[in-house]
Structure 1
């Protein structure tokens, strides 16, 4: 029971609860499906995402902190993923020349071949399990909705305009 100083909880309506749970389940199941489809490439979804983001950076190289922001993972988690990729020879860690204190990750030639080989499988998986299930209008609405959410969570950011 709320006291006079505590605002009452704004519980979700039945329809809001259904929408929230549908989002949670679909998001998790989509990640499982995308991860499963990458297993033939020898990559997990987080590994693919890190290699993919790295391959899109100038010179196939980026600071670890930048990569963590791009893949929306903690720096610690990115460090662990980078270690696995480094052990396979797909990336290498380097000191940043700008200040010498930071660490950058560089994509190796073998890493470039790996991401280029896995990309068609991943794109087909995204199409099969997500994009092709939606109308053009639904895809546009989804972008618009999540742009609002992202702007709320990370004020001042622009929602991936470079890929739109």
Structure 2
């Protein structure tokens, strides 16, 4: 398939992706890791989609199993190359060039109503709700005496 030097580095990348995000000992590559490898190395295109990656992985894993070994991974690369219309060496070179898995994390999108504090209104603008409103009792809550717009009591005029 490829020279022993590139096959060794390809095997290192295989092991890096196989163990990425797993706390247990690696016994091969799972389907999620194969999809991540294809995504992180830029293999996906119009000819080769994530669905194709899942189908290729499923066709090579043992019946009832969850993982594939390095030999099955090499066979998967042959199928990926055929699907993309490239050689196996080109696909392997793209994987080796990209290196190991990338951990990007999650970044929230900008939301005007949350991030732009000048658009905040009412309670949020004044510091948010509080559970310390002073000593209120039922008499104050049921008081129907005249009040201004803000709810303050209007002093009786004598």
**Could you tell me the TM-score, scaled by structure 1's length?**
0.24
Question: Which of the two has greater helix per residue?
Answer: 1
Higher Cα radius of gyration = 2
**Could you tell me the TM-score, scaled by structure 2's length?**
0.25
Question: Which of the two has greater strand per residue?
Answer: 1
